[in-house]
Structure 1
Amino acid sequence: MAPAVALIAVGGTACTVPESLGAGVKGTPGAAGLHDPYFPKLGNGGYDVSHYALTLDYDPKTRKLSGTATVTARATQDLSAFNLDLHGMTVHSATVGKDPAAVNRAGHELTLRPRDEIPKGSTFRAVVRYSGIPSAITDAAGAQEGWLKTADGAVALGQPTGSMTWFPGNHHPRDKATYETAITVPKGLTAVSNGELRSQRPTSDGKRTTFVWRSAEPVASHAATVGIGSYTTSSYRPEGGGVPVYTAVDKTVAPRTAKLLARIPELTDWAVDNFGPYPFTSTGAIVERSGDIGYALETQSRATFPEASFDAETLVHEIAHQWFGDSVTPETWQDVWLSEGFATYAEWLYLEDFEGIPASESFQEAYDTESNWDFPPAAQPDAEHFLGAPVYDRGAMVLYKVREAVGDDAFHEIVRGWAEKHRHGNASTDDFTAYVEGESGKDLTELWDIWLYGDAKPDQP
């Protein structure tokens, strides 16, 4: 562990905490983790982030990323110091309010110690300037996450811990925040992020372009993204209204994906009918070459896909995640079945409505798949399995059984009501089971015991 050193501030940013920040306060350091069941060191205690302002500059040739992260947060305790999650990179300076902050690095933990302690309830602003060549994280299941180099740029995929590879933050799903992300890239490339494109302008030397994106609705950091590349882009509002669409597709795959991309308005409208009002201001997709990324992810307001996974069912899955996973975000990673189970069940609904395959057939196929019985969906054995097959298929089976128990009409209202009740928030498994029983008026203890928590495969589906 390196000793704490005071750093000279570069362009100090005004803080919303009064000038008497910390006067007479006897604070303690915020916790270095939020004790998530599978990622206990992920996230940090002592504060809640309300907004990230990220200024990024990326050169695909050198792979160097330079960034300034301005983190606006509220102290939830008297703070003498607090942590941010950051993997790799070199920190050049940090300030809290107008003053330099002392900095420690220990693994993924970046500790800032402000000059004066921060009183509980105060809003403060921390600025961290950093640079380096971001390195991807290989997660417990062997997948690459984080800032991923592509053939012509980069793409950031953050689930569950990868966002710490490209900006310092409180990287646990329960600390959601709004974002403004400004990305400068070489001329001829496009930079895409969550939310809405606010501006696109050349730099003074004309050699680069800066794209500014804004997410007005809160984002869990694992659903934040940046895509940089030679994209074919499209931005439009569907005829007759509907949710605005923005798509960015690698130019080498654009001709092969155009037909399915054109279905985004139709499938978003179908999801609105099933799940309730769309929770964000736009929808869309980022599609990369299959060799550049290995999986699709529900990056908020425009999911990210490799071409090989860009099919109708996966598109429906990721669109459904805009409600379940992005708007209603799991309280901890142990609750991730609430995200993946709903998105998988949306695939079953799609097959039922568009392909004439009853959900009962999808349920039976999942029931007959032995790997779905390795563990209960709400009790994954460890971090390696937190996105195992039972989380998806048994999660969807739980929802099918709820539909069977309460009836189609009541189930439809429960799904829409659940999405509305926890819109832009977090929810746990206990929240869900209590909500279903409260809305249906039924005691579903046996259903939960067998399908949600049961270790053994029941004799009859």
Structure 2
Amino acid sequence: MKNLLITLTALISSVGFLAGQDRPQAAPLPQIDVLHYEISAEITPENGFLKGETKVRFSVPQDVLTLPFELNNRLSIIDIVDAEGTSYSTSFDGVESQRVAVRGENPFRAGAEKTLTFRFEGALERQEYAFIDTPRAEKAVIHQDGALLLTEGRWFPSYRLQLDAATADVKIKVPLGFSVVAPGVLQPTEISGVTEVFTWKSAAPVTRIPVVVSRFFRQEVEQAPVPTTLFVGEQQSQQDLKPLLTEINQVLDFLSKEYGGFPFEHLNIAAAGNVSLPSAGAAGLVLLEDSVLSAKMMPVVDLARRFAVQWWGYSAKPKEVYDAWMQDGFATYAA
């Protein structure tokens, strides 16, 4: 705890210096406060297709005519209705096509709490690369070996998710043989014919909701300072992962001693594939690329930074988009 106070004092001093420099004006007040996401989706790896439904429960702090949600521009909204069955219209931002303005017949009134249900679908096929070994940069992609749906890929309708934390239920249907990893706690799976449904519940508010689909092998990590589960593909399952797991345990032990116990009840670590990730995962979930899992020389500092984000990015959250840089800054310092 003493080290935590010293760290905060040093970094606050740096922030005070930066505050004196030019910075954008404070962001406008949020138009809604999202309380909960209930996301259901069916993923078909064979043709890269996603069909989903998202219920967004939110409160309205001030009167507003339209609500700006975000959705991947390769996905189409089928309809939007509220709990009474009233339909809402949409229009896309001409400059940023991933912004969707939602409007009803009447304004959204201050003090109200509403639930909107979005039905959407679309193809998120993998882009063709010239070199098969090139790490891919897609943020939302479905392919024959699974899927990687990152928050940055806006794979479901959301509102300021990385700043407006909300609880979430994620329910994903996939063909038998595939598994799904998402933030939260895994509930009992349901098998229906040739498909299986995976449900993950986040009781604590989250700011990122990534989903990884693959033919995972699941392994409980022994002697970890926090209950930890590793999800890897067939290739990684045949490797000697003991050096990696030993390093992860040492990193978690160091961070826990320096900055307090792990901020979540359980840690899941999932292989993300041959990709270049823009973020390290979500609350209680760390994503690792093939380059990390298969590295001959363990990238210790980079590994530590990814896990430090659990303390400095997902437990302590930025207030405004202009403060988001502090997440990586604190995590890098901690590593």
Offset of 1:135 from its aligned partner? 6.7
Offset of 1:256 from its aligned partner? 2.9
Contact 2:89–2:104 (Cα < 8 Å) also in 1: no
Contact 1:191–1:226 (Cα < 8 Å) also in 2: yes
Offset of 1:145 from its aligned partner? 4.5
Give the structure 2 partner of residue 309 of structure 1: 292
Q: Does 1:123 align with 2:113?
A: yes
Cα distance between partner residues in 2 of 1:179 and 1:253: 30
For residue 117 of structure 1, give the secondary structure of its aligned residue in structure 2: strand
Contact 1:44–1:82 (Cα < 8 Å) also in 2: no
Q: Deviations over 1:297-355 (max 9, x none)?
A: 321212111121344332211110001111112233432332112222233xxxxxxxx
Bigger fraction of residues in helix = 1
Give the structure 2 partner of residue 297 of structure 1: 279
Counterpart amino acid of residue 202 in structure 2: S
Q: Deviations over 1:133-161 (max 9, x none)?
A: 13789xxxx98342134561111233xxx
Give the structure 2 partner of residue 318 of structure 1: 306
Residue range with higher mean Cα deviation, 87-96 or 146-155: 146-155
Larger radius of gyration: 1
Give the structure 2 partner of residue 331 of structure 1: 319
Gap regions ≥5 residues in structure 2: 1-22, 128-134
Counterpart amino acid of residue 319 in structure 2: E
Pick 1 or 2: higher relative contact order, CA cutoff 8 A, min separation 6: 2
Offset of 1:87 from its aligned partner? 1.9
Offset of 1:46 from its aligned partner? 1.3
* 1:239-388 pair list within 5 angstroms: 242-256=225-239, 258-259=241-242, 260-290=244-274, 293-295=275-277, 297-300=279-282, 301-310=284-293, 311=298, 312-347=300-335
Cα distance between partner residues in 1 of 2:238 and 2:321: 37
Bigger fraction of residues in strand = 2
Give the structure 2 partner of residue 105 of structure 1: 91
For residue 170 of structure 1, give the secondary structure of its aligned residue in structure 2: coil
Contact 1:268–1:319 (Cα < 8 Å) also in 2: yes
Counterpart amino acid of residue 341 in structure 1: G
Offset of 1:264 from its aligned partner? 3.5
* 1:208-227 pair list within 5 angstroms: 208-220=195-207, 223-227=208-212
Q: 1:37 to 1:256 in 2, by over 3 A?
A: farther
Cα distance between partner residues in 2 of 1:90 and 1:83: 16
Contact 2:225–2:253 (Cα < 8 Å) also in 1: yes
Residue range with higher mean Cα deviation, 62-71 or 307-316: 307-316
TM-score, normalized by length of structure 2? 0.79
Give the structure 2 partner of residue 232 of structure 1: 217
Give the structure 2 partner of residue 187 of structure 1: 176
Q: Deviations over 1:345-382 (max 9, x none)?
A: 233xxxxxxxxxxxxxxxxxxxxxxxxxxxxxxxxxxx
Cα distance between partner residues in 1 of 2:29 and 2:40: 22
Q: 1:279 to 1:112 in 2, by over 3 A?
A: same
Cα distance between partner residues in 2 of 1:218 and 1:149: 26
Matched-pair identity in %: 23
Give the structure 2 partner of residue 50 of structure 1: 35
Partner of residue 174 from structure 1, selected from 163, 167, 170:
163
Cα distance between partner residues in 2 of 1:49 and 1:37: 25
RMSD: 2.8
Q: Deviations over 1:159-179 (max 9, x none)?
A: xxx242x10011352211111
For residue 344 of structure 1, give the secondary structure of its aligned residue in structure 2: helix
Gap regions ≥5 residues in structure 1: 1-35, 348-461
